[in-house]
Amino acid sequence: MSPVTIARISEEPLDVAAHLAAVEHAEAGAETSFIGRVRDHDPDASGAVDALEYTSHPDAERTLGELARRAAEEHGARVAVSHRIGRLAVGDAAVVIAVSAAHRGEAFAACRQVIEDIKRELPVWKRQLASDGSAVWKGLGG
């Protein structure tokens, strides 16, 4: 089986349980996950955050798969990861990552690498919508 079981850009709500199930296997002694949710505030917002609108480059899903594969190979892990696009409300999951490995150290390291690489390298941009009607765009690295 491939070390990357899910690498998806999706307009649909993300299923945490499906990601956890996708990395489950007999050799795994550790599983970890990360869920990035839309929050109601941000230092760059002029007021409370009402929603985020995510857009992606056509190559984003391929890039996401490469990021997941790199982390999986470096840490001997299995990775399932999805990033949502479209309009998300406060509380919605924007990113879901599930990782399994033989030991917790490798699982945690792979999971952290995937989210850090997403923030730096994934061609996905977000428009942050504030309650006062203002909007701020954020891209790679932000």
Per the structure, the complete domain to which residue 127 belongs is given by 4-138
User: What's the whole-model pTM score?
Assistant: 0.95
138 falls in which pLDDT band (50, 70, 90)? Answer: confident
What phi, psi does 86 have (nearest 5°)? 100, -165
- CB neighbours (10 Å) of residue 136? 15
User: Which among 55, 74, 67, 49 has a CA at the least distance from the CA of 11?
Assistant: 55
Domain count, the chain: 1
CA distance 48 to 139: 20
Q: Calculate mean pLDDT across residues 107-132.
A: 96
Share of residues in the chain with pLDDT > 90 (%)? 87
For residue 65, the domain's CATH number is 3.90.1170.40
17 φψ region: left (φ > 0), alpha (ψ -120 to 50), beta (else):
alpha
Average pLDDT value for the chain: 95
Q: How far apart are CA 38 and CA 95, in angstroms?
A: 10
Q: Are 79 and 96 in contact (CB under 8 A)?
A: no
State pLDDT tens for residues 44-94.
777 899 999 999 999 999 999 999 999 999 999 999 999 999 999 999 999
